[in-house]
Structure 1
Amino acid sequence: MNDEPVLLRADTPEGVTTLTLNRPQARNALSLDLMAALMDALTAIAEDDAVRVVVIAGAGPAFCAGHDLREMRLHHDPDFIRLTFETCAQLMQAVVALPQPVIARVHGVATAAGCQLVASSDLAVAADDSRFATPGVNIGLFCSTPMVALTRNVAPKHAMEMLLTGDLIPAAQAAEIGLVNRLVPFAELDSAVGALAAQLASKSSKVLRFGKHGFYRQLPMNLPDAYALAAEAMIENMTFDDAAEGITAFLDKRHPEWKDT
């Protein structure tokens, strides 16, 4: 038995919180306990003004190999399977709904629900030797839930190729199709993620939260409705103290001093 917690949390004074999936022996497969722990952590973070940016990482040799198939086979009854996939859907939506920006730190493999977690994150930085797949079709289980996040990140034909073939794609291809933002050598992964997280943490937290919420609200809208929403958002944003400070600092050629209000 492993007494280690399935999820680790580390916080920096600058407001960057790293949540590390900690089932390395199972390639961080998303067991029900791990998904519940991650949900609990995100719920707490959503109310924590001290947290400005969240990083999701994986311990051991992989980011996340998807759902825990051994657990699902052990508890092979309809209620457990339903609970597993409903919990996963809630988790992925919680990542999107989290007020703070979320960065996936990817190494090794990100497959099935692990690939879904990358696609659900706002940004992703990956080691250049990492690989990605939605391989359910290879075991007779189409990756229907990963499909939802995947098709909101990449073009339909790229998504269909991944879903229909189940092939592992290299990091370079994942970057080309828009699944990840940046690729770096594995040795530089922590510094690259840290630099990006620090850059985001240096912005107005109120503005980033406001902007993330607006981004996902307008995404499914038609063009006129999206522009109407965005115009109202700009008008509201102009009333923020940080907008006044930012504009003044820009005109005065100095760095802004954010109040997060």
Structure 2
Amino acid sequence: MLRRSYGAAMSLVTYELDEHIATITLNRPEARNAINGALRKELNAAWERFRDDEDAWVGILTANGNVFCAGGDLKDGEGAVGTFGGTFWEKPTINSFESGMELFKPTIAAVHGPCVGYGVTGILFCDFVIASTAATFSFPEVTLGMPTIVGAIRLPERLRWADAMEVLLTGQPMTAERAKEVGLVWKLVEPDELQAQARSWAQTLTKAAPLAQRATKEVAWRTANMGWIESVRFGETMRKVAAATEDVAEGIGAWREKRKPQWRGH
């Protein structure tokens, strides 16, 4: 498959597609990848591109430089929602990736260096967090007199209550080792192995049928807030939708012929 890169069009966020794997990279290393208005806009556009690109099956979120993300740029209120310098920026982001975009393709965060505020919120929306031993994680808002909002909603869904509050209520950085212990990090690797490990796992994910993966993830996501009967009914509906795809016929045919399936995502 040809590699497609959109880096020139997105100077603050690069998007590269290769073998069904889209790599989205924060590219503002001179500002420690702090999220200003321009970067936020390009990042959301990159995730929308990934969501809508039928050739992109798995996404990797990573960053250039020694800092994954320094959080919202305090000099640019367009980069974060909250109060900075006495000014209130009311910009809901429920349709952005980190704040609730409906995206059911598998996603991986490859984290190195400090991951702060907005950065942690973003990786919490990824299915797998692979971190280097040099990574740290923090929500420093409370040390600035401000509450954490989306992080406070999402983190207790991923961690035990006290572990989530450890991050949210102290504002202090959590080490990569501690993050692995409490479940924030899925896999911990040496810094020079991070990108290769993320890529290897993405390749493993592309071996499964992409439409079946998306249906499975959507069932898991939507039924979290449903009753049992509603959950089963929704799941069975998704099964019927998936059963009508070409990939199901390919998967059954490959099994019968004892060969590897050739998924098309149709």
TM-score interval, normalised by the smaller of the two chains: 0.7 to 0.9
The normalised TM-score by structure 2 is 0.85
248-257 or 208-217: bigger deviation: 248-257
CA apart distance, 1:163: 1.0
- Alpha-carbon shift at residue 94 of structure 1 (Å): 6.7
- Give the counterpart of 2:38 among 33, 40, 50: 33
Confirm or deny that 1:82 pairs with 2:90.
yes
Once the two structures are TM-superposed, the CA of residue 252 in structure 1 deviates from its matched residue by 4.2
8 Å contact kept, 2:98–2:122 = no
Among 229, 242, 250, which residue is 1:245 paired with? 250
Q: Percent identity?
A: 29
Runs of 5+ consecutive residues of structure 2 not aligned to the other structure: 1-9, 78-82
Matches of residues 53-64 of structure 1 in structure 2 within 5 Å?
53-64=58-69
1:220 offset after TM fit, Å?
A: 2.0
1:156 and 1:243 map into 2 onto residues whose CA distance is 40
Q: Does 1:257 align with 2:257?
A: no
Residue of structure 2 aligned with 1:176, choices 164, 178, 181:
181
Relative to total residues, which structure has the larger helix share, 1 or 2? 1
Structure 1 residues 105-146: Cα deviation after superposition (integer angstroms, max 9, x where no partner)? 100011111111110112211112211111211121121222
**Distance 1:29-1:90 versus aligned 2 partners, 3 A rule:** farther
- When residues 172 and 251 of structure 1 are mapped into structure 2, their CA distance, relative to the original with a 3 A threshold, is farther
Quote the residue 1:117 is aligned against: 122
Aligned residue for 2:131, secondary structure, equals strand
Letter in 1 for 2:187: R
Partner of 2:232: 227
| Superposition pairs of residues 195-234 of structure 1, within 5 angstroms | 195-234=200-239
User: TM (normalized to structure 1)?
Assistant: 0.87
Whole-angstrom CA distance in 2 between matches of 1:77 and 1:163? 23
RMSD: 2.3
Inter-partner Cα distance in structure 2 for 1:94 and 1:214: 19
| 2:185 is the alignment partner of 1:187 | no
Residue type at the aligned position of 1:133: S
Q: Deviations over 1:189-219 (max 9, x none)?
A: 0110110111122322222222222221112
TM-aligned CA deviation for residue 45 of structure 1: 2.5
> Partners in 2 of 1:237 and 1:176 — Cα distance?
36
Q: Which residue of 1 aligns with 2:143?
A: 138
State the Cα deviation string for residues 155-187 of structure 1 (Å, max 9, x = none): 222112211112211112222222222111111
> Can you give the 5+ residue segments of structure 1 that lack an aligned partner in the other structure?
none
Q: Does 1:17 align with 2:22?
A: yes
Give the deviation of 1:250 after TM superposition.
3.3
Q: Which one of the candidate residues 97, 105, 108 is aligned to 1:103?
A: 108
